[in-house]
Amino acid sequence: MTHVVPEHQRAEAERTLAATPGVRGEPSDAERSRTLIAAARTGALATIGEGGFPFGSLVAHAVDGRGRPLLLLSDLAEHSRNLAGDPRASLMVTEGSLALGRVTVIGRVAELAGDERDTALEVYRAAQPDAFYAGFGDFRLYRMEVESVRYVGGFGRMSWVDAAAYTEAEPDPLRPHAERIIAHMNDDHADALVLFCRRFGGRPDTAVARMVGVDRYGFSVLAADEPGGPETAVRLAFEERTDTPDAVRKAMIELVRRARAA
């Protein structure tokens, strides 16, 4: 399976792929893509419709352990008829507004049967527990083999992600816990966030700071030199991967120790 990048975008893609988590202390775009598509429950499916025109529809999806989208589609749906004529399709999922992340996976879609279907259906039901229609006779289970991935992390951050890197990447294990971690840090440890920005973020005049994101490699903070003043984004890395909330707690304690020692 090969990944085709347009000529004018190859330099950008190579630059992005070279920015590995070990260098930047951030998830790769492959990991961001896997995290986003695993967390989403619906997406925009684009199939090739009548006359060769793209046809978009909203679908509920799941992903398997290799990041391949699983789709439970009715024979009565227009997109199912389109896929019967041409298996090429794309699925786009978003975090919300255009200012946030989104990922589009592109590939060919095929119906699953036998043991493969049974295994994939368990994955789909776990992700879509309200899918009462799974037992209906006119619904079939499909899987997309991902050939290309486009990641957009908001304004100014975008790349073509290598399909093999996407398959090998893991969704961030902190994603289900991130909201709670962020709220806890902002509510109970805002002073520590200010200290981190002063000591490790190159912002010695920081007066207020709030966490806005966290992942296994580190966290993101918006810092200002005065209450209500302009905010600057600061990225702070953990010394090692933190795959659980308890690991984050220990990492934060160690950062406080280092910051006070500095």
Question: Can you give the CATH number for the domain in which 224 is found?
Answer: 3.20.180.10
Are 88 and 58 in contact by the 8 Å Cβ rule? The answer is: no
Are 217 and 148 in contact by the 8 Å Cβ rule? The answer is: no
What is the reported pLDDT for 20? 35
Which residue carries 């992903």 as its tokens? 63
What is the reported pLDDT for 97? 62
Which domain does 248 fall in, by range? 176-261
What is the reported pLDDT for 100? 76
Same domain? 40 vs 75: yes
What is the reported pLDDT for 21? 39
Looking at the structure of the chain, the number of domains it has is 2
Residue 2 located in a structural domain? no
What is the reported pLDDT for 82? 98
The span from the CA of 197 to the CA of 70, in Å, is 42
What is the reported pLDDT for 23? 39
Domain final residue, candidates 139, 169, 199? 169
Within the chain, which residues score under 50 in pLDDT? 1-4, 13-23
Are 174 and 245 in contact by the 8 Å Cβ rule? The answer is: yes
Handedness of CA 182, 186, 187, 188 (dihedral sign): positive
